């Protein structure tokens, strides 16, 4: 009888802990964040940290890194050069052995390469979108050094291969606000007519659409980055921000790291207390299991 009671209790707790991907796990402003909060986020796959930046203006852009497990930031740096207003950032675009921050600016050239060590301007990527489109999302695929970009005013999501832009997918009428590349998938944060994260395999195959559950329709979502592996059971998380509350949010998505057994996010997962311990660094392409 005692064993049955224990089993019943475990099942009850597990059922209460069952999550629906699309849930916001944590939300908070970052200590010392810039005026208007954070707009850009980008994963550093070498360290497990997350770069955060912006928006600021008048050539005074703050940026630093965030520890994803605690959402504690390092010392903020200022004066990322030649930038007016940051919309989103990527990290890891490599040129001659240096990994650069990519910052999407209000002014052309829209995607500028910034040395993370001192904020100095290095060069830029050629423009694909126009100033009317607004170049929003930015992320780097560390496997092939491709840059994925999206726009608020253009349905195209494109990748830059070092010499030219190519259309990855086009989402009619979508207001695309952020991209993130990791775990051999591309994630696109969008709004119109509702808030979702569109998930594609990096080969272009569509996987699923994850709604941001209970998200206020007047909260302007911005930026996107990969977050933690196995943070919610076997499920991964992403980070994004919003322009209304000026907070950074962590959202649960699906299991994208278990080889040959992708669990679609709509199936749900067990909460973090029953999951694996946080690795922190992870891998953008699951190199360790190949």
* Domain 24-289 class, CATH top level: mainly beta
Least confident interval from 10-24, 188-202, 276-290: 276-290
Q: Do the beta carbons of residue 81 and residue 121 sit within 8 Å?
A: yes
pLDDT band at 194 (very low <50, low <70, confident <90, very high): confident
Contacts of residue 212, defined as CB under 8 A and 6 or more positions apart, other chains included, come to 22, 24, 195, 196, 197, 221, 251
- Is the pLDDT confidence value at 199 over 60? yes
pLDDT band at 262 (very low <50, low <70, confident <90, very high): low
C-alpha distance from residue 120 to each of 78, 103, 136 (Å): 10, 12, 21
Nearest of 209, 254, 208, 213 to residue 234 by alpha carbon: 254
Least confident interval from 125-129, 216-220, 285-289: 285-289
Query: What is the average pLDDT across 62-66?
Result: 96
CB-neighbour burial class of residue 246 (10 A; exposed 0-12, middle 13-18, buried 19+): middle
The pTM score is 0.85
Residue 162 tokens read as 């070092």
pLDDT band at 40 (very low <50, low <70, confident <90, very high): very high
Nearest of 167, 147, 140 to residue 155 by alpha carbon: 167
Residue 216 tokens read as 């206020």
Query: What is the average pLDDT across 247-263?
Result: 82
If residue 231 lies in a helix (H) or strand (E), which one and from where to where? none
The confidence score (pLDDT) of residue 236 equals 96
């Amino acid at each position: 009888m005692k064993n049955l009671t224990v089993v019943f209790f475990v099942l009850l707790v597990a059922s209460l802990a069952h999550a629906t991907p699309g849930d916001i796990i944590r939300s908070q402003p970052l200590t010392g964040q810039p005026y208007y909060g954070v707009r850009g986020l980008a994963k550093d796959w070498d360290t497990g940290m997350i770069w955060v930046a912006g928006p600021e203006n008048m050539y005074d852009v703050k940026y630093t890194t965030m520890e994803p497990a605690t959402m504690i930031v390092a010392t903020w740096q200022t004066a990322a050069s030649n930038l007016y207003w940051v919309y989103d950032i990527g990290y890891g675009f490599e040129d001659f052995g240096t990994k650069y921050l990519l910052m999407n600016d209000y002014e052309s050239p829209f995607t500028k390469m910034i040395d993370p060590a001192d904020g100095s301007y290095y060069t830029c990527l050629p423009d694909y979108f126009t100033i009317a489109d607004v170049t929003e999302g930015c992320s780097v695929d560390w496997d092939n050094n491709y840059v994925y970009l999206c726009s608020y005013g253009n349905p195209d999501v494109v990748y830059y291969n070092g010499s030219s832009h190519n259309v990855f997918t086009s989402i009619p009428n979508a207001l695309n606000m952020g991209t993130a590349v990791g775990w051999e998938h591309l994630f696109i944060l969008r709004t119109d007519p509702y808030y979702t994260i569109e998930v594609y395999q990096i080969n272009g195959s569509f996987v699923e659409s994850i709604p941001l559950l209970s998200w206020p329709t007047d909260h302007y979502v911005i930026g996107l980055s990969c977050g933690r592996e196995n943070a919610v059971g076997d499920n991964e998380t992403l980070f994004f921000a919003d322009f209304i509350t000026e907070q950074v949010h962590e959202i649960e998505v699906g299991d994208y790291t278990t080889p040959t057994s992708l669990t679609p996010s709509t199936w749900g997962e067990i909460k973090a207390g029953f999951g694996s311990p946080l690795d922190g660094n992870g891998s953008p392409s699951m190199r360790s299991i190949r």
